[in-house]
Amino acid sequence: MASNPVFVDDKQSIIFFIFPHYWLKVVYFMYIKEICKVKSSKRVLTKDFKKEGIPFLRGSDFINWKNKNKNQFNFFISKEHFNKLIKITGKPKKGDLFITGDGTIGNVFYLKEQIDFYFKDGVIWLKDFKKNINSKFVYYYLETPKNKNKLISLSIGSVIPHLTTEVVRNAFIKDFTLKAQQHIVNII
């Protein structure tokens, strides 16, 4: 029989001890804040929307883009406003992850291609992954039903749940070697 998990904090890495069938199994975990930057966008007001320009995505737009594998956008901001915003927050780039924090929370989007766009402040942005981390692996890890439910369970708000950047920063994932991450991504 497995014993109850024991958590040990070691320089912000969590070691999870399990004793199944008398064997010691040690699984290392890392906080998400240890593997990448967790950010949000600057708020864009309705008055800043234009009929054309740089696409502006809400959480539902990420979900539609992912499900349809198309980039049909409904909201836009001017190139000038986009340039002001990215000077403050940076620019989304290929390999970045986005997690819906409002509405249908916990949906993860992997940016497959480089495209100029900006996004709603209710979307959480994982960027600048460390060299030993494959962002596509993190995407697949967070998309598994078990891990997605764990992330959603960390949401705040009793009536309308929200995921915040702070909650996501302090969530953790299993620590796999880069070779193992790449192997898993290649299989999927």
If the chain, 188 residues long, is cut into consecutive pieces of 10 residues, what is the mean pLDDT of each piece?
39 39 63 96 95 94 82 91 97 97 93 94 96 96 92 88 93 89 89
Answer yes or no: are the C-beta atoms of 135 and 110 closer than 8 Å.
yes
Instruction: Identify the pLDDT of residue 10.
Output: 40
* Beta strand 172-174 pairing with 123-127: unpaired
pTM: 0.83
Q: Which two tokens stand for residue 133?
A: 């981390």
CATH architecture assignment, domain 33-187: Alpha-Beta Complex (3.90)
Q: Is 98 exposed, middle or buried (0-12, 13-18, 19+ CB in 10 A)?
A: buried
- Sorted by where each begins, the domain ranges of the chain are 33-187
Answer yes or no: are the C-beta atoms of 36 and 141 closer than 8 Å.
no
Q: What is the DSSP letter of 84?
A: H
Instruction: Identify the pLDDT of residue 99.
Output: 97
Rounded Cα distance, 168 and 123, in Å: 11
